[in-house]
Amino acid sequence: MNKHSKRLLTLAALATTTTATIHIINKVIAASACLKEMLDTDVRNYYHWRFGDIYYTKKGKGSPILLIHDMLPGGSGYEWTRIEDELSLEHTVYNLDLPGCGRSEKPGMTYTNFVYVQMISDFIKKIIGQKTDVIASGFSGSFVTMACHNEKELFNKIMLVNPPSLTQLKQMPNRKDRLLKAALEIPIFGTLVYHMIVSRANINNLFIEKMYYNPFHVDNQMADAYYEAAHKGGYYTRFLYSSLAAKYININICHALKALDNSIYIVEGETEPNGKAVTDDYCASNPAIEVSVLKETKHLPHVEAPEAFLEQVKIFF
């Protein structure tokens, strides 16, 4: 065997060993992230949808309210834990984990806005079975807006919590975005990069810098739940993040927003970056939209100030 062949065999052996080591590291990270079992699955309600099983809970009696969490890394229905029990005293509260999130199935596919629009409409038709009110957090407001525009008969009143800017939603994937998505979806190595992005340190920084008005009041249990949700499901968890990061979930909702005649209420955190500019754009598109600003809150007013948030819910619904 010549030197060139020996060198190739050595490189192949090193590559195999490195790949196997990274695979083991990925397995350990995913398993350790779920040790605290923050995401309760005692209530095993699943909607068997075309792209995988959707986890949801149902509480209370009365007119239905559907709670839809944000699309931040690690997002899940756990986001609503501070208000759903109180809401269930007067309403039938449905709280779901969107496809690719939390306890729902996480198929390895490209996630688009249409996927979530269709899923929400199907869930209301098949599980709730009647016209419903909706509270949507963050990016999920775009899904609800489009779903209501497509099938108005399914929706009653809509509350949007810190919805995304209309300018952001207009951004479509470019060549750089498509390359980023492809890189994140590379088996084993893409998973390692994803695990670095959603590390516990980065989740903590997300809460401190972007989610809470007062960083000293960050709920560690909430951060634990986000960290667990970002890893639950093994290496398939990276597919949703890759679609989100590469703007595949974006869609221009301006035309839909203008066409809606449903009652729409926006709850804005006082210190949400560009919050007033965002709500002004929404109101310019649809002057009937009402806005309420919750003091001393940021991206998650329903987590930081649940009592004040529930007061707004009672006023609107």
Q: Torsions phi, psi of 63, nearest 5?
A: -60, 140
- The CA-atom distances, in angstroms, between 132 and each of 129, 135, 151, 260, 266 are 9, 10, 12, 15, 17
Return the HEC string of 27-75.
HHHHHHHCCCCCCCCCCCEEEEECCEEEEEEEECCCEEEEEECCCCCCC
Closest to 264 (Cα-Cα) out of 139, 92, 148: 148
Give me the numbers of helices (H) and strands (E) for the chain, helices first please.
Answer: 14, 8
Any idea of the CA torsion for 220, 225, 230, 235, to the nearest 10 degrees? 120
What pLDDT is stored for residue 15 in this prediction? 63
Q: Which H or E run includes 158?
A: strand 155-161
pTM for this predicted structure: 0.94
**% of the chain beyond a pLDDT of 70:** 94
* Sign of the torsion angle spanned by Cα atoms 148, 305, 72, 209: positive
Per-residue confidence of the chain (317 residues) as pLDDT tens digits?
A: 566 666 666 666 666 777 778 778 888 888 888 888 888 766 678 999 999 999 999 999 999 999 999 998 899 999 999 999 999 999 999 999 999 999 999 999 999 999 999 999 999 999 999 999 999 999 999 999 999 999 999 999 999 999 999 999 999 999 999 999 999 999 888 899 999 999 999 999 999 999 999 988 888 899 999 999 999 987 788 999 999 999 999 999 999 999 999 999 999 999 999 999 999 999 999 999 999 999 999 999 999 999 999 999 999 98
